[in-house]
Amino acid sequence: MKIIRNLILVLLIPALFQACVTQKKVERYLNEHPAVSSLYCATKYPVKDSIAPPIIKYIPANNKDLTKAFDSLARDNSSLKDDIDSLSELSKTDSSALGEKYRKTITGLNKKLVSYINQIQKLKDEYKKCTPDTVFTTNTVYKRDTAKEKYLETKVSAADEKANNQKRWKNIGFIISGVLGAALILVLIFKR
């Protein structure tokens, strides 16, 4: 019975070590089977599109706004019309030579008024609305290599873990040296 048990142990121990997968074995397998390795990498770490924040470029249209000029001309025109109307009323009541002079002045002002009205209408007809300002937005799309991101992420976490281990061992060293120092002091005190 012992012989069979020993024989099984002798045969099983090398088989157990053969079953172990090392990094070199995995790399060799992946190099020998590129279709499997590329499929695995493409599935596990796909290349992803990422969109950068937009870049906005503003270009003003440089339009001249003539709306205020039209409004001012219309107000002046309205004021002129009011003056003509009041002079017209005054000339009707005064029939003397002065009234005739008013009528001639009013007739001249009426002609100017009609001319202003025609000019305003012509400007309004020719006036084109302002073209809008132009805003260009550019979105940059770039490819992300998630396999490389994962690799760098694991490297950073490994470096962090190593730094934490170093701190832990440093702290343990300080504690041990403190305990040994205290023990040495106690030994020296009680030795006397």
Q: What is the mean pLDDT of each run of 10 residues along the chain (192 residues)?
A: 67 62 80 78 80 79 70 72 70 61 72 77 72 77 79 83 87 85 81 68
Q: What is the pLDDT, as a whole number, of residue 19?
A: 58
Asked if 26 and 19 touch (Cβ cutoff 8 Å), the reply is: no
Q: Which residues contact 90 (CB under 8 A, 6 or more apart)?
A: 102
Q: What is the pLDDT, as a whole number, of residue 68?
A: 73
Q: What is the pLDDT, as a whole number, of residue 140?
A: 81
Q: What is the DSSP letter of 67?
A: H
Q: What is the pLDDT, as a whole number, of residue 11?
A: 62
This model's pTM is above 0.85: no
Q: What is the pLDDT, as a whole number, of residue 151?
A: 80
Asked if 107 and 87 touch (Cβ cutoff 8 Å), the reply is: no
φ, ψ dihedrals at 107, nearest 5°: -60, -45
Q: Is the torsion defined by CA of 85, 88, 89, 90 positive or negative?
A: positive
Q: Which residues contact 132 (CB under 8 A, 6 or more apart)?
A: 61
